[in-house]
Amino acid sequence: MELPFDSEGEEVDVKRIKSTQIVCLAAFLLVASLVVSCTSGMRLNTQEARYSEDAGTYRVILFGCNFNNDLETIAFLDKRGDKYDFEPYAADFKFKIKGVPAKEALKVAEEFVNCNTSFLQVQTYGIIGPNGEILGYEVRPLYEPLAYGDQDVLLTDYWLKDDKVVIKIRLKPSVERMLQRGGGDKDRGR
């Protein structure tokens, strides 16, 4: 049996190459399983909805607005006393939570998301549960399209995990790239 040689005529240790490939594959599978375990649960969808609550109390989750023109800014309305609690997947300093009567909750959220000089208007979405019911609301800022190349700059994902609605928030990749290149609103505070 001939041993394989590399381009310089040196013997190649096939067993060593195979064991390296096995270690790399095992590491990849471990990382993939960790990623899946972090996002396991049922993915929830949103749909445009009109907020019409007038009874009860809401946990108003105010995410972002940590500096002038912070684009990772959004608010969530989580009805108190229901089966599910909303939980942002972020460091505690990125958000704050207030208990607010239902009649005032939307106003508090709308005022909060207006912390950018390019703010245009608010868009409200219902976060839809597994049985088609609205579990809560997302209050999202829209911006002047010329400032960031898009009115809507955020991506949000909702995952139902046990009795929690886990919320992941990030900038759209196109907006992130524009900001890294120095584009966007010049007064954005970065």
Domains of the chain: which residue ranges? 1-38, 42-180
Reduce the DSSP state of residue 45 to 3 states and report it. Answer: strand
Could you tell me the two tokens for 86?
Answer: 């909303």
Task: Please tell me the predicted confidence (pLDDT) of residue 190.
Answer: 40
Give the pLDDT band of residue 189 (cuts 50, 70, 90): very low
Residue 168 backbone phi and psi in degrees, to 5: -110, 130
Are 62 and 75 in contact, with CB atoms under 8 Å apart? yes
Q: Would you say the C-alpha torsion 170, 100, 56, 103 has a positive or negative sign?
A: negative
Give the pLDDT band of residue 11 (cuts 50, 70, 90): low
pLDDT beyond 60 at 14: yes
Q: What is the dihedral of CA 33, 38, 44, 50, to 10 degrees?
A: -160
Give the pLDDT band of residue 33 (cuts 50, 70, 90): low
Tens of pLDDT, residue by residue over 150-175, are 999 999 999 999 999 999 999 999 99
Alpha-carbon distance 116 to 68, whole Å? 7
pLDDT beyond 70 at 37: no
Q: Among residues of the chain, what percentage have pLDDT more than 70?
A: 79
Give the pLDDT band of residue 35 (cuts 50, 70, 90): low
